[in-house]
Amino acid sequence: AQKITQTQPGMFVQEKEAVTLDCTYDTSDPSYGLFWYKQPSSGEMIFLIYQGSYDQQNATEGRYSLNFQKARKSANLVISASQLGDSAMYFCAMSRTDYKLSFGAGTTVTVRA
Amino acid sequence: DADVTQTPRNRITKTGKRIMLECSQTKGHDRMYWYRQDPGLGLQLIYYSFDVKDINKGEISDGYSVSRQAQAKFSLSLESAIPNQTALYFCATSDNMREGGDTQYFGPGTRLTVL
């Protein structure tokens, strides 16, 4: 069975600093995808970044990067130069062989001015 | 205009009532999904559809039904609403373009309260 674990329920970060959100996963599938989504207080789910299990390089999208360590089964999200608008809940998710997503419980990030 | 729209955005209803949540998308994706999110938790899959004739139950389908009226439309029904169905409901779509997992794009969500 696939499982996503986010161990940090909440984090505080100073504006302009970097923050790392932890995500570990468990799967027996040889091919899978890892995703991060952002959910601001308004409620919508915003796709941030994707990492394929066979990708050799870590994914990056603007200020977001995914630190993928396949042997450790971790897919941590790094947000660089935090902004006030980054305050939100962040979800790690993994695609399964049937293309459905499994979500972690989320991490709340609060950016302080 | 948003690529994935949901109506209504907010709904308050009473126990025992039938309610339908609607989802439309202009992304041209074949795959559509319905999720629910309870406060402080991640998303749980209710139903999913890989094309108009292919509908499947997810993790928590009891008490729900769906209809895929067209490629672009996927509706979720609560036949007899109960208070523990109070949640935020999301529709999502994906395009089946990538081995290892499609990116799912979410609608804005529907906040449902069952009294």
Spatial CA neighbour of B113 closest among B3, B1, B7, B14: B14
- C-alpha–C-alpha distance, residues A89 and A86, integer Å: 9
pLDDT of residue A71 exceeding 90: yes
Least CB–CB distance from B43: residue in A44, A95, A103: A103
Q: Quick one: average pLDDT of B53-61?
A: 93
Strands, E assignment, chain B = 4-7, 10-13, 19-25, 31-37, 43-51, 54-57, 64-70, 73-78, 87-94, 105-106, 110-114
Name residue, tokens 């025992």: B16
A96 pLDDT more than 80: no
Contact status, residue A78 vs residue A59, Cβ threshold 8 Å: no
CA distance B59 to chain A (A): 10
Cβ-proximal residues to B54 (8 Å cutoff; 6+ apart), any chain: none
Nearest 5°: CA angle at B56, between B97 and A24? Answer: 60
For residue A46, how many other CB atoms are within 10 A of its CB? Answer: 14
pLDDT of residue B36: 96
Lowest mean pLDDT among A59-63, B40-44, B51-55: B40-44
Average pLDDT on A45-70 reads 94
CA distance A76 to B56: 31
Token duo for residue B98: 């990538």
- Contact criterion met (CB < 8 Å) for A33 and B88: no
The Cα of B16 is separated from the nearest Cα of chain A by a number of Å equal to: 27
| Shortest CA distance from A9: residue in chain B | B40
Mean pLDDT over each residue of chain B, to the nearest integer: 92
Q: Does B97 have pLDDT greater than 70? A: no
Residue A31 binned pLDDT confidence (cut-offs 50, 70, 90) = confident
CA distances to A23, A25, A74, A77, A113 from A69, in Å: 10, 11, 5, 12, 32
pLDDT of residue B1: 59
A91–B43 CB contact, under 8 Å: yes
**Residue A99 pLDDT greater than 80, yes or no:** no
pLDDT of residue B40: 75
Contact by Cβ (8 Å): B113, B57? no
Q: Is residue B49 scored above 70 in pLDDT?
A: yes
Q: Check residue B100 and give its pLDDT.
A: 64
Q: Which residues of A touch B40 (CB under 8 A)?
A: 105-106
